[in-house]
């Protein structure tokens, strides 16, 4: 009798591009993929910071290099990707939030948030897919979305709209590229404690609202995302595409 075996979570020999890797969720995703054996290209707008992160990973015995990249500049991003070998894995953790009541939303804030969260994410994902298609290789493309892709939130009309849009193009790209072996998914975290979210947690009213909504009774940590991204990047999720992996502590279970 042949007993089935769990598919490997290892990523040895694969190239992974992690965008927004200089801190927070993106840095944690880069570390997770490196631990799984991937050669990780860490990308962010800040060259100095990304080189520091790459050096820290290499000091730990992992394969990592830095790359300066601003996905808000679609043309420059396309040119940089065209010069790179195909990436087996993409993790896009770049994002922007400008929270305010909907009646106070400025056109500038709207355009800037959509420019990175939707326009930048769309063309980054397309660019990595084009490299895989040209090379005739399968791959796993992952955008860090949000629980706000499934619900609304206080002062988050613009942000929530962008994440709903990411879920939409993820599903369509998954359908289009599925026959080529290219999988496209999202990870949807709840509030994760990072330097960028400390301002939110410093507001007692917002902090109480968050804690009441998360059924597991605590806010998220970057470590909560690490196994999720390794799963979606690896052969362990070979039959998963066009999906949103919720890491929200039960927020959207209502």
- Residues labelled catalytic: 159
| Per-residue confidence (pLDDT) for residue 118, from 0 to 100 | 98
| Per-residue confidence (pLDDT) for residue 61, from 0 to 100 | 97
| Per-residue confidence (pLDDT) for residue 198, from 0 to 100 | 80
| Per-residue confidence (pLDDT) for residue 84, from 0 to 100 | 96
pLDDT of 98 > 80? The answer is yes
Mean pLDDT is highest, among 43-47, 61-65, 192-196, for 61-65
**Mean per-residue pLDDT of the chain:** 95
The string of pLDDT tens digits covering residues 136-150 is 999 999 999 999 999
Stretch 116-129: mean pLDDT, rounded? 98
Stretch 103-119: mean pLDDT, rounded? 97
Could you tell me the two tokens for 107? 């056109």
Instruction: Name beta bridge partners: 92.
Output: 19, 143
What pTM, to 2 d.p., does this model score?
A: 0.95
| Per-residue confidence (pLDDT) for residue 94, from 0 to 100 | 95
Dihedral sign, Cα of residue 75, residue 80, residue 82, residue 88: negative
Stretch 61-65: mean pLDDT, rounded? 97
Select 15-247's CATH number: 3.40.190.10, 3.40.50.300, 3.40.50.720, 3.50.50.60: 3.40.50.720
């Amino acid at each position: 009798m042949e007993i089935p075996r769990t598919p490997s979570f290892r990523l040895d020999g694969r190239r992974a591009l992690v965008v927004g890797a200089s801190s927070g969720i993106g840095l944690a995703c880069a570390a997770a993929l490196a631990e799984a054996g991937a050669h990780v290209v860490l990308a962010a707008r800040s060259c100095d910071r990304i080189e520091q992160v790459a050096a820290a990973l290499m000091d730990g015995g992992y394969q990592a290099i830095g790359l300066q990249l601003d996905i808000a500049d679609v043309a420059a991003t396309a040119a940089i990707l065209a010069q790179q070998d195909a990436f087996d894995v993409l993790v896009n953790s770049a994002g922007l939030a400008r929270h305010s009541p909907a009646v106070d939303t400025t056109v500038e804030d709207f355009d800037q948030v959509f420019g990175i969260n939707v326009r930048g994410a769309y063309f980054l994902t397309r660019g990595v897919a084009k490299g895989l298609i040209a090379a005739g290789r399968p791959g796993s493309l992952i955008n860090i979305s949000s629980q706000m892709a499934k619900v609304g939130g206080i002062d988050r009309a613009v942000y929530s709209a962008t994440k709903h849009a990411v879920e939409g193009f993820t599903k369509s790209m998954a359908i289009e590229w599925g026959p080529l072996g290219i999988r496209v998914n999202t990870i949807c975290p709840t509030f994760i404690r990072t330097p960028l979210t400390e301002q939110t947690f410093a507001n007692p009213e917002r902090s109480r609202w968050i804690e009441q909504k998360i059924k597991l009774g605590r806010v998220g940590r970057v470590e909560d995302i690490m196994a999720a991204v390794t799963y979606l990047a690896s052969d362990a999720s070979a039959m998963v595409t066009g999906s949103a992996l919720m890491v929200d502590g039960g927020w959207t279970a209502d």
